[in-house]
Amino acid sequence: MKLRTFRRHLREGVKNIGRNGWMTFASISAVAVTLFLLGVFLILAMNVDHFMARVESQVEIKVYLAPNAKPEQVKAVETALRNLSGIKSIVYVSKAQGMEELKKRLGDKAELLEGLEKENPLPDRFDVKTYDPHQTPQVAEKIRQIPHVADVQYGKGWVEKLFDFTRMVRNVGLVFVVGLAFTAMFLIANTIKITIFARRREIEIMKLVGATNWFIRWPFFIEGMLLGLLGALLPIAVLWLGYHALLDVVRQDLSLFFLDLLPVTPLMTQVSLLLVAIGMLIGMWGSLISMRRFLKV
């Protein structure tokens, strides 16, 4: 296509937006409302996924060593742990450190432990984390086979339930987002169909005077893309402001401090680009599909 011809199509597409008044407003409004709902669900789904990933990352394996393990045996266990695949971090906690942790955990009741410092009953241990928390049970079973390891604990039972729950939440969120995306495609495409239907005579006249199908399509193609773009800008602005305000509330209210929400960027940048892409693509797709019947003159 020649540059001059493309400029003509671009100019016509822009003119059509201003020329059709209320139909343009209706199309942009439908796009904006639908993409706003999709954006809200995207932000919610991404934050839920982030929260679930944070919960999963706290899962760790506590490797308790045999009582009175010698330093060389402790070193051998550490070496064996480092040779296992999938291990992210290994932290050695001596029995003295374990006692201090227990005192902090008991708080005001720490006096119950008085007299145990000299004959500390706690074993030395390693705190182990895996790169993939879902591999924790399998890695724990391998650690059990290491000599001088007395016990391995990782919350067996509830950890598997936690992973099942997080998997279910992610799947439900994905289904909702995909379903809403298809709903958005349907609503936006049908709104654009109504816009083009109102101008069917214009298309038929152009076809009768000898214009090619693509010569007719291009202005509507560009118009649909611009409708999608304009319809995406308003919900993007509202979502940016709304999410920024939500983060301020969460940070200032100590009762909501446990909500570790994703920062504004890059979250909102990703959501904004996705909404713009969806709006423009659906606008173009809706224009092409809607014109098919009117080009058969």
- Report pLDDT digits (tens) over 1-58: 566 666 765 676 666 666 666 777 777 787 788 888 888 888 888 888 888 788 778 8
In eight-state DSSP terms, residue 261 is P
Per-residue pLDDT, 186: 73
- Give this prediction's pTM: 0.69
The C-alpha atoms of residue 248 and residue 237 are separated, in whole angstroms, by 17
The C-alpha atoms of residue 128 and residue 107 are separated, in whole angstroms, by 25
Q: What is the per-residue burial (b if ≥16 Cβ within 10 Å, else e) of 243-281?
A: beebbeebeeeeeeeeeebbeeeebbeebbebbbebbbe
* Tokens 């742990």 sit on residue: 81
Backbone phi, psi, residue 90, to 5°? -135, 120
In eight-state DSSP terms, residue 122 is P
End-to-end Cα separation, the chain, in angstroms:
24
pLDDT in tens, 182-234: 776 676 667 666 766 766 777 777 777 777 777 777 777 777 788 888 888 98
Domains present along the chain, CATH in parentheses:
3-55+165-291 (no CATH), 60-153 (3.30.70.3040)
What SS3 state is found at 44?
A: helix
